[in-house]
């Protein structure tokens, strides 16, 4: 088997953080999603996070339409997998993300790893990361891991999601 472990990112891949944050701030999103759209334009300000810090916010982020298909695909590959996500300290993100996994992927609720810092310390040969962020992908590869960039999509871009699913299927089968 090509990989011994798969790490699945949450926000931007399975969980539509951008939609939830844009809704709470009444921000209009571009029809074509741009990487770091919210971060580059809005999230540098403290008040941005003060509205996105509660357990309820993180627990109720919408799931992307393809999320179940992606998790099923990874689960059926027979390769061990773990959800791997970053969370800001001292916020409801930690418990909220655990609740989100319980609600959306209850059968896999023991597979959640939440980290504070750089995900790439987990990277090693044979470990595949599926993540939306270019910086995470690059860091992971620099440490010898393999990575697939699932660029953040608008929830209605199911065509591109189908294409990504097919690429992931080929990669892990």
Q: Which residues bind Mg ion (CB under 5 A)?
A: 9, 11-12, 132
- 12 versus 92: smaller Cβ distance to Mg ion: 12
The number of angstroms, rounded, from the C-alpha of 156 to the middle of its chain's C-alpha atoms is: 17
Bridging pattern class, strands 5-8 and 112-115: unpaired
- 151 versus 169: smaller Cβ distance to Mg ion: 151
* Smallest separation, CB 1 to Mg ion (Å): 25
Question: Which residue's C-beta sits nearest to Mg ion?
Answer: 12
- 16 versus 146: smaller Cβ distance to Mg ion: 16
């Amino acid at each position: 088997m090509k990989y011994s472990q798969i790490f699945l990112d949450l926000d931007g891949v399975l969980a539509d953080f951008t939609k939830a944050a844009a809704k709470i701030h009444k921000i209009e999103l571009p029809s074509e999603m741009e990487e770091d759209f919210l971060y580059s334009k809005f999230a540098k300000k403290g008040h941005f996070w003060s509205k996105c810090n509660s357990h309820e916010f993180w627990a109720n982020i919408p799931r992307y339409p393809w999320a179940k298909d992606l998790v099923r695909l990874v689960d059926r590959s027979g390769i061990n997998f773990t959800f791997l996500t970053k969370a800001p300290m001292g916020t409801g993100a930690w418990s909220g993300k655990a609740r989100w996994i319980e609600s959306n992927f209850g059968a896999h609720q023991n597979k959640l790893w939440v980290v504070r810092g750089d995900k790439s310390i987990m990277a090693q040969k044979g470990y595949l990361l599926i993540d939306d962020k270019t910086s995470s992908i690059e860091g992971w590869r620099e440490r010898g891991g393999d990575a697939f960039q699932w660029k953040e999509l608008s929830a209605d871009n199911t065509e591109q999601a189908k294409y990504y699913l097919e690429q992931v299927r080929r990669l892990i089968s």
